[in-house]
Amino acid sequence: MAQSSSSESLSSISAPTRQILALSGGVGGAKLADGLAQRLAPGRLAIVCNTGDDFEHLGLTICPDIDSVLYKLAGKNDIERGWGLAGESWTVMGALKKIGGEAWFNLGDLDLATHLHRTHLLRQGHSLTDVTRELATALGIAHAVWPMSDDPVRTIVKCDGGELPFQHYFVREQCHPAVTGFRFDGIDSARPHAGMMHMLESRSVEAIVICPSNPFVSVDPILNLPGVRAALKHCGAPIVAVSPIVGGQAIKGPAAKMMRELDMPASAEAIARYYGDLLDGMVIDQLDAAQAPAIEALGTPVRVAQTVMNSGEDRCMLADIVLSFAGSLKKPD
């Protein structure tokens, strides 16, 4: 027995497993997060989710970007809609509408269980991290899925006509208003997720993957948390972003429209410029291969690949490409 315990103790002091940190928001983020989760064992991957889209609605705390990752990794997400659960029904929403309740934000009957349980646990004082872990475990997910912070951060979209909370812009107004900028309420006092900061500060992170998510409303809320940019800069691991813009379009969501409204070309090159020297590499789609030289001229190495993910195989292929690209960019220790 002693022997096994000493050998166990020996193995336990071996070099800590270096992890991949994925920053995710929206549908595109969840897809690549799923590909990475298929390829990496639970101890090798941590997925940090944007919580700027979260909001209190009908007395419930709604966390769309966390749920997109949870449902995707559990294989229960609705492919068509890109959010929510497959096999959903809308009985409660129909009844709510009949009695004059707010029905602009569609909460499916199955999805409501998530919001009811999460809200109940949060009201009991559990952290969003613990609640997310409980939901992940219940969904059979072993990978670490973390909120970017346990403190509330709320994305406010500045438009010509004033400011809108994110879901009002995205769902109620269907992204029609022209954007002029963004604000993240609560971000100055929000503490970045402790697990993420530990990975970055202990240099136990092997690479950081910025998933193909909207840079303004899915990635910036994470990057702008106090101390995150500095921790990323000094963590010694390569940072690779996958362009969310393919052929001048966002695969899903308002990223391209927002870029045009912010006087930026809706291009992979403009995304590279936007992230600037934060990136050690960028993966762009084959459709945008002609932009590779201009991006490399910025000092950002490029890998051209199929970044559009329409299947589990696509998600794993892109994950493989991103991981091998990051490995080739390893920074000198």
Query: Which residues contact ligand FO1 by CB under 6 A?
Result: 26, 53, 62, 64-65, 67-68, 83-84, 105-107, 111, 167, 170-171
Nearer to ligand FO1, 83 or 184 (CB): 83
Nearer to ligand FO1, 31 or 143 (CB): 31
Rounded to a whole number of angstroms, the minimum distance from the CB of residue 84 to ligand FO1 is: 5
Nearer to ligand FO1, 175 or 266 (CB): 175
Nearer to ligand FO1, 10 or 98 (CB): 98
Nearer to ligand FO1, 179 or 321 (CB): 179
Phi, psi of 306 (to 5 degrees): -80, 110
The answer to whether 26 touches 81, Cβ cutoff 8 Å, is no
Rounded to a whole number of angstroms, the minimum distance from the CB of residue 218 to ligand FO1 is: 7
Rounded to a whole number of angstroms, the minimum distance from the CB of residue 170 to ligand FO1 is: 5
The answer to whether 243 touches 269, Cβ cutoff 8 Å, is no
Rounded to a whole number of angstroms, the minimum distance from the CB of residue 25 to ligand FO1 is: 6
Rounded to a whole number of angstroms, the minimum distance from the CB of residue 49 to ligand FO1 is: 10
